């Protein structure tokens, strides 16, 4: 796994909604704002911030993709993955939202590439 060092900035905190808005940025990657739950008493703040970091998103976006040809047709079996290992789920499921607006969960991406941190 490639290492990505990132900066976090707690932009707002809502005790009432038990969440905070955190802006994550890293050189060469888009800036992403994430709604994160407040830490529990005795829980390390940076552990919570790290568990919601967009590093998996940045890593996925660095992957080279294959573009299939439009019109490709195939036949698959319902047992296709029967003998294969189940896909591993991410440790932390992400819930992205804007706590200040109370809107439906969304991923907020600001700008194109953050060239400096």
pLDDT digits (tens, 9 = 90+) for 46-98: 999 999 999 999 999 999 999 999 999 999 888 877 666 655 544 444 444 44
Whole-number pLDDT of residue 83: 65
Over 50: is that where the pLDDT of 112 sits?
Answer: no
The full set of domain ranges for the chain reads: 7-63+86-114
Dihedral of CA 91/62/96/33: which sign? Answer: positive
Q: What does the alpha-carbon distance between residue 18 and residue 67 come to, in Å, rounded to a whole number?
A: 42
Dihedral of CA 46/52/64/78: which sign? Answer: positive
Over 50: is that where the pLDDT of 100 sits?
Answer: no
Mean pLDDT of the chain: 81
Whole-number pLDDT of residue 79: 86
């Amino acid at each position: 796994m490639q290492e990505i060092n990132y900066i976090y900035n707690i932009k707002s905190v809502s005790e009432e909604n038990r969440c905070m808005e955190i802006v994550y940025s890293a050189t060469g990657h888009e800036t992403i704002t994430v709604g994160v739950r407040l830490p529990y008493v005795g829980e390390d703040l940076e552990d919570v911030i790290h568990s919601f970091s967009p590093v998996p998103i940045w890593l996925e976006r660095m992957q080279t993709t294959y573009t299939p040809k439009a019109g490709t047709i195939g036949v698959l079996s319902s047992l296709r993955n029967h003998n294969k290992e189940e896909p591993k789920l991410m440790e932390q499921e992400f819930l992205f939202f804007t706590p200040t607006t109370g809107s439906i969960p969304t991923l907020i991406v600001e700008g194109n590439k953050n060239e400096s941190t």
